[in-house]
Homo-oligomer: A and B are copies of this chain.
Amino acid sequence: MRDFQAILNDIHSNIIKTKDKGVVASYIPELAHVDKNNFGIHLRTADGNHYGVGHFNKPFSIQSISKVLALAKAISFKGNDVWKRVDVEPSGNPFNHLSLLELENGIPRNPLINAGALVIADILISHLKNPKEDFLNFVRDLAGDPSISYNEQVAQSEKATGFKNYAAANLLKSFKNLENSVDDVLDFYFHQCSIEMSCSQLSKAFYLFVNKGKCLMDKAHLTESQAKRVNAVMLTCGFYDEAGEFAFEVGLPGKSGVGGGIAALLPNHFVITTWSPGLNRKGNSQLGMKALEQFTSKTKLSIF
């Protein structure tokens, strides 16, 4: 049997020695001021074990990682109807390009690019009674941790500077692919992205994708088939225009966020999460990707 703790320790000691740690996101002060020496990695296996090294208990801004949780919630409400309003194809373009959205008449390429996540946010607003409160509770339930919260300051900073997201939401609205107002959708979206979680909390929250749709409390949020499909979307679309690279180098479904977090998983086996705030040129955590590559190389555990 593999000694996962030893493997994580080994990766940790390699990674923290790396000089080029990437560049911390600087578009809002709350992200810009995060210390790029933070590095955490955490593993939770299907048999109930968990392992961590470094800052795996320190909360960070999960940002786009939240898109997967929002997608899961939207599917739990609408099932396959979600896919009438958003496609499942990789975008082949950086995450903020609006070109494809225009060409394709307001149907975002997938739910993990910003435009697609705005459509998912719109669905949640339409179905949740108190959208922000209810979504936060959903995440807290998945992670089994009521202390998880929005970072209101992050949400406000995003709102004050998120002109590209306003552009995307208005474009979606012009194609009638938003039911709610642009302002309501963006308020929800910026809050969703502002959630702060640690690696260990994320490992719990993503457990349903390992476990055929059932969370740690054994509640079925998704059917087995739905969970598989979310995994497929993560694999093909989870890393912006570096999705192919992540599949190629790491070989796990996963999702990154601009706060430097990554959540990845091997169905039926484990969730693995990393946090390192420095990003590479494509906006994904530079050392996080490296750590995961080392993990799947060392363990030979990947979907391929």
Contacts and interface: CB of A to CB of B under 8 A. Distances in A.
A251 interface: yes
Interface in A100-114: 100, 102-103, 109-110
A201 interface: no
A235 B304 contact: yes
B100 A98 contact: no
Contacts of A267: 303-304
Interface in A27-69: none
Contact of A99 (B102, B231, B245): B102
A233 B244 CA distance: 7
A173 interface: yes
A130 interface: no
Interface string A169-192: 011011000000010000000000
B102 A302 contact: no
A242 B164 contact: no
27 contacts: A88-B244, A88-B248, A89-B90, A89-B245, A90-B92, A90-B236, A92-B93, A97-B102, A98-B99, A98-B171, A99-B99, A99-B102, A164-B170, A166-B166, A166-B170, A166-B182, A167-B170, A167-B174, A224-B300, A227-B304, A228-B302, A228-B304, A229-B304, A233-B244, A233-B247, A235-B304, A236-B248
B297 A225 contact: yes
A87 interface: yes
A90 B88 contact: no
Nearest to A228: B304
Rank and list the top 7 A-B pairs by shortest CB-CB distance, nearest first: A92-B92, A163-B174, A89-B244, A99-B99, A167-B170, A90-B90, A231-B304
A168 interface: yes
Contact of A170 (B110, B163, B235, B303): B163
